Structure 1
Amino acid sequence: MKAVVFDLDDTLFDHTTSAIAGLTKWVPELGVRWSDDLIAEWFAIERVSYDAWLEGRLTHQGQRRARLQAFLPVLGRPVPTEEAELDEIFDGYLAHYRASWAAFPDARPALEVARSNGWRVGVLTNGSTVQQNAKLATIGLAPLIDVVATTETLGCSKPAPEAYLATCRELGVQPADTLMIGDNFELDVLGARAAGLTAEHLDRAAGITLAQLVKAS
């Protein structure tokens, strides 16, 4: 191997925990009592809206508004008709979400092992360029990464083969010499393998760590 490419959300960056922490502080600010039942509702809505952005049916800000348009009725709250008001409400969530940003404990060790192997290190993420780079900077991993490839910079998303191939080109390596690691089996493993990369599934529920996957390679 000459390079390793990591997914970001729920691989290096603990998106799920950060989002839940943000929700538990934001929902009461809307005058609604917090309930753990709301977690599943939020993430289901997030997935549908985010996929609409990846497919080009919504702008990035539009998918945020769509989330609120679906989630506010779940809370029993009225849905504003003005986009500016929707944006202001979503900013309340974002502030708490950003305040909770954190890397997984195994993220830095894995990046350090990869660099000690002499590998180039990349991140390939179905996300917005500004926010994903901000996450890496905030959690202290940006200096350990050579290339950050996002949906916006590439013009395509995982599992499109070009997403993986373009990332390899930016890293200056061949797909056959590149390892992809991520938590989403379809996007980070099957998609990467179809593009000619080696790929490993990060299954934390099974006790797998990032460092183990990097060393095992």
Structure 2
Amino acid sequence: MPRLALFDLDDTLISSKGAFIAWTEQLVAAHGAAGDVRWFADNEHIFWTGAPDDAFRGLVEHFKLDADPAELLADYRLRMVDLLKPFDGVLDGLEALRDAGWRIGIVTNGFGEFQNAKIDAVGLRAFVDVVCISDVEGSWKPESKIFQLASERAGAPLEGGWMVGDSLTSDIAGGNGVGLHTAWVRHGRRLGTTDPQPEQIIEGTAEAFQLILSRP
């Protein structure tokens, strides 16, 4: 029976925040605006209402830009192809897992067109067996349905599988809830006592591959 390794997309396999920061810094400079770009990138969720252009409406509001949020979203989607990068070791790690017989899936929250564009921009689709995007599947992490769909489509059981991600509330809580081993990509953050508790804590995604491969 093949084994299952699931990965979050944004800031787990690819540096989405890095790409967004780079694009926003250029945008703010072009408009002659002032403000802490990194703070905004860390807190864009406060503008979230469920629409694809929420972060971009937040940008206009926060930096007081004379710009159309929809046009900013369209510009970012075009330019992110050149700004997005997989984290170091990700492509080699995915290939090593596949060579060892693992079935690999991306399970990501987000909107289908946007998330698919990111996956294709960095060539990740060739390295995975299944992609489940919340907007497409009608289920958002940490709901169990999206993990079960990934398992069924990959042809590998949840039991004994892994979920690797940077979100405690989506990836770790969701993975724990369906019985997956979980690894939290901490990116320098601290784990609170009331947070969902991962089985393993890693500094970067590259560590996950050796961790998974070393387990019987």
Matched positions, count: 199
Provide closer, same or farther for how the CA distance between residues 127 and 213 of structure 1 changes in structure 2, counting only shifts above 3 A: farther
Map 1:139-178 → 2, pairs under 5 A: 139-178=122-161
Is 1:21–1:96's contact at 8 Å kept on the other side of the alignment?
no
1:118 aligns with 2:116: no
Provide closer, same or farther for how the CA distance between residues 69 and 143 of structure 1 changes in structure 2, counting only shifts above 3 A: closer
More helix by share: 1
- In structure 2, give the amino acid aligned to 1:100: L
Identity %: 24
Per-residue CA shift, 1:110-148, capped at 9, x if unaligned? 201210110111000002222222222221221111100
- Counterpart Cα distance in 2 of 1:149 and 1:18: 22
- Secondary structure of the corresponding residue to residue 177 of structure 1: coil
- Secondary structure of the corresponding residue to residue 106 of structure 2: strand
Give the corresponding residue for 1:210.
Answer: 208
Give the corresponding residue for 2:195.
Answer: none
| Aligned equivalent of 2:121, options 116, 128, 138 | 138
Structure 2 unaligned spans of 5+: 189-201
Structure 1 unaligned spans of 5+: 54-58
Is 2:4–2:103's contact at 8 Å kept on the other side of the alignment?
yes
Give the corresponding residue for 1:74.
Answer: 62
- Counterpart Cα distance in 1 of 2:111 and 2:99: 29
Question: Bigger CA drift: 125-134 or 102-111?
Answer: 125-134
Provide closer, same or farther for how the CA distance between residues 142 and 70 of structure 1 changes in structure 2, counting only shifts above 3 A: closer
Pairwise CA distance, 1:99 = 2.4
Give the corresponding residue for 1:22.
Answer: 23
- TM-score, with length taken from structure 2: 0.81
Pairwise CA distance, 1:204 = 4.3
Pairwise CA distance, 1:213 = 2.7
Pairwise CA distance, 1:98 = 3.6
- Counterpart Cα distance in 2 of 1:72 and 1:151: 26
- Greater relative CO, 1 or 2 (CA 8 Å, sep 6+): 1
- Secondary structure of the corresponding residue to residue 173 of structure 2: helix
Is 2:47–2:58's contact at 8 Å kept on the other side of the alignment?
no
